[in-house]
Amino acid sequence: MARYILQRLGYMLLTLFLIATFSFFLMKMLPGSPMKAEEKLSEAQLEILYEKYNLDDPVPVQYINYLGNLVQGDLGVSFQLNNQPVTDLLASRIPVSAHLGFQAMILGTILGMLLGLVAAVRNNSWIDYTSNVISVIGISIPSFIFAGLLQYFVGVKLGLLPIAFWEGFKHTIMPTIALAIFPLAIAARFLRTEMIEVLGSDYIVTARAKGVTKGGIMFKHGLRNALIPLVTVMGPMAVSLMTGTLVIEQIFSIPGIGEQFVTSVTTNDFPVIMGTTLFFAFFFILIILVIDILYGIIDPRIRLAGGKD
Amino acid sequence: MEKILEVNDLHISFDTYGGEVKAVRGVTFDLKKGETLAIVGESGSGKSVTTRALARLIPSPPGRIKQGEILFDGKDLAKLKEKEMQQIRGKDISTIFQDPMTSLNPTMKIGNQIMEGLIKHQKMSRAQAKSRAIELLELVGLPNPTERINQYPHQFSGGQRQRVVIAIALACNPKILIADEPTTALDVTIQAQILELMKDIQKKTESSIIFITHDLGVVANVADRVAVMYAGKIVEIGTVDEIFYNPKHPYTWGLLGSMPTLDSTEDSLIAIPGSPPDMLKPPKGDAFAPRNEYALEIDKEMEPPMFKVSDTHYAATWLLHEYAPDIEPPEAVKRRMKGFAQTGAGESKEGERP
């Protein structure tokens, strides 16, 4: 197992290198430059700036320099935000997004799983239909609508919770709920479908024939076998939630990475784009590794070759 | 002999969108201590539904026990609550299922799957249950039980898995073991091993076995008595010898005639024409009449009652009525019957039968 994880980490570095390379050259192919965006600078001023940031070097040289810095953990400085180092920027922004995303993911997954389980056990009852309606609403209505509704009713009308900013747990509640509805809906649907199939399988009848109680059937025999598809969809979803959600962050004025990323794209702020892209990629690959390890823990049939039981 | 189970006039229906499917329509039989009762019949005859109902394993809805009683240990199982039934399942009545590839939980170590019942019913500690599980695996003939107990089902072959399934069923020394086609999914050499194993275990544990199968060769090998089911009813029931040497129901003739044997090379197999009736609308009269070349006029009007052939042998066919014409079984079946007499079907059991 340790060997497998090391091997995977090796591949991970390779993947990151490739992503860094591709995004670097893709960005260089884009028209425009970070300095041209807003201010009207003279040719001379531009030249000074280019030289300062080494943007006048040939692209391959810039690439080598970039990689060299990257290896040392230096992602460069932002062109827009007063030369703030990109690592500092990420370090201040990412924890906020990750915190929000993590909370939403946990809330959504747990509630969604409960809903899916109940719907599966009470298949074709009013609970099942209700769960179905909730799922359809959660999947089809975008989160900013929930965000707006929450802000209006809970924040403005009832005055229960702050409608914006990021200043403590209270401030996290509404964005978390707005963001949790989608994973909730997905978890409920997937678990329900899979659970119904699992509960109809032969080994569940075997378990019943042993005299196992209903709770035992559901949690000991059913749930574990129904988890694989759920893990498959929830992993990437966790990544997208935890790496910043532009709309929700904007609506609630949350200083997360999602908002920053979009700004950097519109202003051609290369180092920030690169840094954020690499971070997203890193996080995504990491989650995929975690999912693969989880698969093996959940289902011994896909346990890795060479690994110990 | 002491009766351990009595089933009286059991009716089971499934409510579907198309209407009520009457899967079992009045089944009556009993099971004696230590005997093996085989239930045979073609697919859809209600044999699996009947036996699943004994352990109340029919999913409800859509299935329900409409009428009848299942008397076991002074209780009517048909009326027990789910909670009470959980105390009986696995402890007094165990089931071995058909397909060992799917009847074990793929994500649970087989040791835990065996121990589950022991911990629940016999209040054993985990350590006790574990050593009992190892004993059970030895009993069913799996080598290296101490190691294998920590393995998962996918690490076992089909035959080995069926042994594990049997070990699970035997865990709490059940009084009744229901074997629902336990060898159908296995290849022939493994089949023989599993049958030997079951006979062996029955001798040691003295449990009663209800053996469902459509393989008459297996019946001859394991059963003391045979019940032949057709369209949700038992049409003939008797000892193995009576069913093989002296069958009375035309459907039983058909079954015997369609059974391939090694020593009957010149005979072609006799198929029973037609297909079983639609149980959404069971026919009036004898359900087998449309496929029965010996059907009498009355078969189309009235269902035949059970006629007594001997104290142990009953058959539901008007041919046994005193006014019925004397009809002999077809030649081919008669030859078969003679063949059975020579090869000694059921003979292996002869000495043991009290």
Residue A162: CATH number of its domain: 1.10.3720.10
Q: How far is A127 from chain B (nearest CA, A)?
A: 16
pLDDT for B343 equals: 58
The reply to whether B145 and B292 lie within a common domain is no
On whether residue A69 sits in a domain, the answer given is no
Q: Which residue of A has its CA nearest to B99?
A: A202
On whether residue A119 sits in a domain, the answer given is yes
Of A205, A211, A300, the CB nearest to B117: A211
CA distance A222 to A207: 10
The reply to whether B56 and B93 lie within a common domain is yes
On whether residue A285 sits in a domain, the answer given is no
Q: Which residue of A has its CA nearest to B156?
A: A301
Task: With beta carbons under 8 A apart, name residues in chain A contacting B150.
Answer: 309
Task: With beta carbons under 8 A apart, name residues in chain A contacting B102.
Answer: 201-203
C-beta separation of A166 from A97 below 8 A = no
The reply to whether B125 and B263 lie within a common domain is no
The reply to whether B149 and B54 lie within a common domain is yes
Task: With beta carbons under 8 A apart, name residues in chain A contacting B148.
Answer: none
Most A CBs within 10 Å: which of B77, B103, B109, as the mutation test of the A interface? B103
Task: With beta carbons under 8 A apart, name residues in chain A contacting B91.
Answer: 211
On whether residue A145 sits in a domain, the answer given is yes
- Of B160, B195, B223, which residue constitutes the final position of a domain? B223
Q: How far is A103 from chain B (nearest CA, A)?
A: 29
The reply to whether B285 and B145 lie within a common domain is no
Backbone φ and ψ of B10, nearest 5°: -80, 125
Interface contact A209-B57, CB threshold 8 A: yes
The reply to whether B241 and B301 lie within a common domain is yes
On whether residue B10 sits in a domain, the answer given is yes
- Of B198, B223, B248, which residue constitutes the final position of a domain? B223
With the C-alpha atoms ordered B114, B115, B119, B123, is the resulting torsion angle positive or negative? positive
- Of B196, B223, B250, which residue constitutes the final position of a domain? B223
CA distance B349 to B221: 8
Regions of chain A where pLDDT drops below 50: 306-309
The reply to whether B250 and B305 lie within a common domain is yes
On whether residue B325 sits in a domain, the answer given is yes
pLDDT for B149 equals: 92
The reply to whether B292 and B166 lie within a common domain is no
pLDDT for B346 equals: 44
On whether residue B295 sits in a domain, the answer given is yes
Most A CBs within 10 Å: which of B107, B124, B147, B161, as the mutation test of the A interface? B107
Per-residue pLDDT tens digits for A156-189 = 899 888 888 888 888 899 999 999 999 999 999 9
The reply to whether B80 and B105 lie within a common domain is yes
Cβ partners under 8 Å of residue A179, min gap 6: A100, A101, A104, A108, A143, A241, A245, A248
The reply to whether B197 and B286 lie within a common domain is no
Q: How far is A143 from chain B (nearest CA, A)?
A: 36
Q: Could you tell me if B136 lies within 8 Å of chain A, comparing CB atoms? A: no
Q: Which of residues 159-178 of B touch A (CB under 8 A)?
A: 165, 168-169, 171
| CATH number of the domain that residue B331 is part of | 3.40.50.300
User: Structurally, how many domains does chain B consist of?
Assistant: 2
Q: Could you tell me if B120 lies within 8 Å of chain A, comparing CB atoms? A: yes
The answer to whether the pTM exceeds 0.90 is: no
The boundaries of the domain holding residue B292 are 228-348
The boundaries of the domain holding residue A173 are 94-265
The one-letter code for the residue type at B274 is G
On whether residue A305 sits in a domain, the answer given is no
Write the secondary structure of chain A as one string of H (helix), E (strand) and C (coil): CHHHHHHHHHHHHHHHHHHHHHHHHHHHHCCCCHHHCCCCCCHHHHHHHHHHCCCCCCHHHHHHHHHHHHHCCCCCECCCCCCCEHHHHHHHHHHHHHHHHHHHHHHHHHHHHHHHHHHHHCCCCHHHHHHHHHHHHHHHCCHHHHHHHHHHHHHHHCCCCCCCCCCCHHHHHHHHHHHHHHHHHHHHHHHHHHHHHHHCCHHHHHHHHCCCCHHHHHHHHHHHHHHHHHHHHHHHHHHHHHCCCHHHHHHCCCCCHHHHHHHHHHCCCHHHHHHHHHHHHHHHHHHHHHHHHHHHHHCHHHCCCCCCC
pLDDT for A178 equals: 92
On whether residue A106 sits in a domain, the answer given is yes
Q: Could you tell me if B91 lies within 8 Å of chain A, comparing CB atoms? A: yes
pLDDT for B263 equals: 62
Q: How far is A84 from chain B (nearest CA, A)?
A: 51
Of B103, B107, B121, the CB nearest to A300: B107
Interface contact A211-B90, CB threshold 8 A: yes
Q: How far is B251 from chain A (nearest CA, A)?
A: 31
Q: Could you tell me if B55 lies within 8 Å of chain A, comparing CB atoms? A: yes
Q: How far is B247 from chain A (nearest CA, A)?
A: 34
On whether residue B353 sits in a domain, the answer given is no
On whether residue A303 sits in a domain, the answer given is no
pLDDT for B266 equals: 58
On whether residue B354 sits in a domain, the answer given is no
Q: Could you tell me if B184 lies within 8 Å of chain A, comparing CB atoms? A: no
User: Structurally, how many domains does chain A consist of?
Assistant: 1
The reply to whether B184 and B243 lie within a common domain is no
Interface contact B107-A298, CB threshold 8 A: yes
On whether residue A286 sits in a domain, the answer given is no
Of A201, A203, A208, the CB nearest to B89: A208
Q: Could you tell me if B57 lies within 8 Å of chain A, comparing CB atoms? A: yes
Spell out the per-residue pLDDT of chain B, length 354, in tens.
788 999 999 999 999 888 888 889 889 999 998 899 999 988 888 888 999 899 898 887 788 888 899 998 888 888 888 888 899 998 899 998 888 889 999 999 999 999 998 998 988 899 999 999 998 898 888 889 999 999 999 999 888 898 899 889 888 888 999 998 888 877 888 888 888 888 888 888 888 999 998 888 888 888 999 999 988 889 999 999 888 888 888 888 888 887 776 665 555 677 788 888 888 887 787 888 778 877 777 777 888 888 888 888 988 888 888 777 777 777 777 777 776 666 554 444 443 433
Please state the ipTM of this predicted complex: 0.82
On whether residue B11 sits in a domain, the answer given is yes
Interface contact A309-B57, CB threshold 8 A: no
3-state class of B335 per DSSP?
A: helix
The reply to whether B125 and B256 lie within a common domain is no
